Amino acid sequence: MTATGSGDSPGLTSTAPLLSVEDVHVAFRTDGAPVLAVRGISYELNPGEVLAIVGESGSGKTVGSRAIMGLLPPTATITGSARLDQTQLIGLRGEAMRQVRGDRIAMIFQEPSTALDPVRTVGWQVCEALLVHRKMTRAQARARAIELLDLVGIPDPAQRVDSYPHQLSGGQKQRAMIAMAISCDPEVIIADEPTTALDVTVQAQILDLLHDLKDRLGTAIILITHNMGVVADMADRVAVMYRGELVESGPVRDIFERPQHPYTKHLLAAVPYLGRPRPASMDTPAEHVGADIVMSVHDLCVDFPGRLGAEAVHAVKDVDVEVRAHEILALVGESGSGKTTLGRCAVGLQPVTSGAVRVLGTDIVTAKGKALREARRKMGFVFQDPAASLNPRMTVGDCIAEPMLIHGMGTKQSRLERAKELLDAVELPIDYVERYPHELSGGQRQRVSLARALVTGPEFVVADEPTSALDVSVQARVLEVFVRLQHSMGFGCLFVTHDLAVVDLLADRIAVMHRGEIVELGSREQVLRHPRQEYTAELIAAVPLPDAAEQAKRRTIRRAAHLKA
């Protein structure tokens, strides 16, 4: 199926496509039969246009885009045509491809933490393309790098140019990736999940930046994402992929308002958004409201020492909060607000500077030995990235059973049976006990991470951004499983997230953190519908909605406010 048309962006004037992709297939050689990842996709991209490619994990959206840039491994076989003006990209190799890649077509990678070289400064990495493609001197390239860092909104660019990636926040690293991508004024930018795992305010800034670059430089953008709110905000046209095929395409409003393919309808139906009525199954049963407190923190402070004589960073300041059995308390806020630090303190994974943390009656700040081990047996932690938190050398069954082994619970056989029981509870086949984490999809690994957190029957669980990198259909199922288990097992949960739509779907109460402090705490209805603090209102206003017409109105208002300012 071909994605064609001029879209509905008023700035598009050219009729000749800048990029033409025709009947591209991608197959990967394996020990068995070849795996066909992309099946004959075709689309066109016009100058100054944003084409969003959406679909679930494994649909081929990233593989298809990497194919036209020559970024797939040698095991990939690529056929078809991808013309950038008159340049055929499929089959381009060596120096010929290097002259195009980074100069005429560039890519913003999905995970800047792994895409950026940790042993090179940010400035060096921005300069690299300038030195190769623009033949600048090092002094000229450095000056241009500072200009680019300033352009993408990184504060103190003259100092940050000498910073290493680990010294930047997640949003700043994403901006640095954009600076690298636009350094040579490319005609096409492929943005692969450019806002995944960013909080809503930073996400809004990144989207505004991409819009501004498109308008000022006339850059065409291929936006690969699973966030349908971002699609509604950014895209002129949408191409929907499913199992390697492009099943539907059209102007963004047509796709949102009049989807034709069953998969597109299913994808849109799974999107959580603020104000959407949540199923009654998500509500805490009435008989459990006001249950016993399972976790509380009082006057909690966490300071991180400054580097090279700099002042200490006050990550958490005088926080008081509690979680009850059968309750989900959502902890929200921007990156750097202290929410993950607070979550780690709540289960004893982060030393505290002062204050008390009590879990089921035990102060885990002062507890030691047997008392601390017993308290930890009653806690669970669902990590943000299961790919990093699951041991790749252990089977799924061993990963799930590991907490039981650590706490001396059961026999080897009983631990295996418990692992199978939890796999069934998170709706995975029990024969997955013999598989390894790399053999599972992202959504499946997240379910394994959830099963591991629950294997000891905890009464208190911290879930740190457990669905941030999942596509919407997988996210919806994981959340349904999570809430069902929470209701049946009765554990209290501190749910750390930046996704307010997910919060609206499952939280009982919400705590809003800003610069280490809880600035607002209340019921889901009160905080999201009637916020008392301006900061909370700003967070809510920054959430993109899966509604193209509404997002267009919002962007018009924001631009008017920006011009007025």
pLDDT above 90: percentage of residues in the chain:
55
DSSP string for residues in 39-105:
EEEEEEE-TT-EEEEE--TTSSHHHHHHHHTT-S-TTEEEEEEEEETTEE-TT--HHHHHHHBTTTE
Q: Are 179 and 172 in contact (CB under 8 A)?
A: no
Q: Is the pLDDT of residue 1 over 90?
A: no
What is the spatial distance between Cα 364 and Cα 345, in angstroms, rounded to a whole number? 9
Q: Looking at residues 276-303, what average pLDDT do you find?
A: 85
Q: Comparing C-alpha atoms, which of 442, 456, 466, 452 is closest to residue 395? A: 452
DSSP assignment letter at 432: G
Strand partners, 70: none
434 vs 393: CA distance, rounded Å: 12
Distances (CA, A) of 535 to 318, 496, 518, 532, 539: 19, 18, 11, 9, 6
- Kindly tell me if the per-residue pLDDT of 301 is higher than 80: yes
Indicate the pLDDT class of residue 6, thresholds 50, 70 and 90: very low
The residue with tokens 């949540």 is: 278
Q: Tell me: the pLDDT tens digits for 535-549? A: 999 899 888 888 888
SS (H, E, C) 381-425: EECCCHHHHCCCCCCHHHHHHHHHHHCCCCCHHHHHHHHHHHHHH
What does the pLDDT look like over 60-113, one tens digit per residue?
Answer: 898 999 999 999 989 999 999 999 998 999 999 888 998 899 899 999 987 787
Flag whether pLDDT at 553 surpasses 90. Answer: no
Strands 293-304 and 313-324: antiparallel
Q: What is the pLDDT of residue 565?
A: 59
The two tokens of residue 276 are 């959407």
| Residue 13: band (very low, low, confident or very high) from pLDDT cuts 50, 70, 90 | very low
pLDDT band at 214 (very low <50, low <70, confident <90, very high): confident
One-letter amino acid of 318: D
Q: Which of 133, 105, 92, 109 is nearest to 45 (CA)?
A: 105
State yes or no: pLDDT of 135 exceeds 90: no
pLDDT digits (tens, 9 = 90+) for 411-441: 999 999 999 999 999 989 999 999 998 888 7
Run of H or E residues at 559: helix 548-564
565/561 Cα distance (integer angstroms)? 6
The more confident residue out of 246 and 201 is 246
The per-residue pLDDT of the chain, averaged, comes to 88
Would you state the pLDDT for residue 2? Answer: 52
Predicted TM-score (pTM) of this structure? 0.79
Q: Confidence band (pLDDT; 50, 70, 90) for 393? A: very high
Residue the block writes with tokens 């640095």:
176
**Which domains can be identified in the chain, with CATH numbers?**
2-104+187-269 (3.40.50.300), 114-185 (no CATH), 287-378+492-542 (3.40.50.300)
Give the mean pLDDT of 216-221: 87
**% of the chain with per-residue pLDDT over 70:** 95
**Which tokens sit at 488?**
């049946």
Span 302-325, pLDDT tens digits: 998 876 667 888 899 999 999 999
What are the E-state strand segments in 236-395?
237-242, 245-251, 293-304, 313-324, 328-332, 354-359, 362-363, 379-382
Instruction: Note whether 492 and 326 are within 8 A (CB).
Output: yes
pLDDT band at 8 (very low <50, low <70, confident <90, very high): very low
Whether the Cβ atoms of residue 107 and residue 181 lie closer than 8 Å to each other: yes
Residues 78 and 56: beta-carbon distance below 8 Å: no
State the DSSP code for 223. E
Half-sphere exposure of residue 120: CA atoms within 13 angstroms, side-chain side: 13
- pLDDT confidence of residue 454: 94
56 CB contacts (<8 Å, ≥6 apart)? 226, 242, 267, 471, 473, 474
Angle between helix axes 396-406 and 442-454 (nearest 10 degrees) is: 20
Q: Which residues of 171-210 are buried (b: 16+ CB within 10 A; e: fewer)?
A: bbbbbbbbbbbbbbebbbbbbbbbbbbbbbbbbbbbbbbb
* Residue-level pLDDT at 395: 95
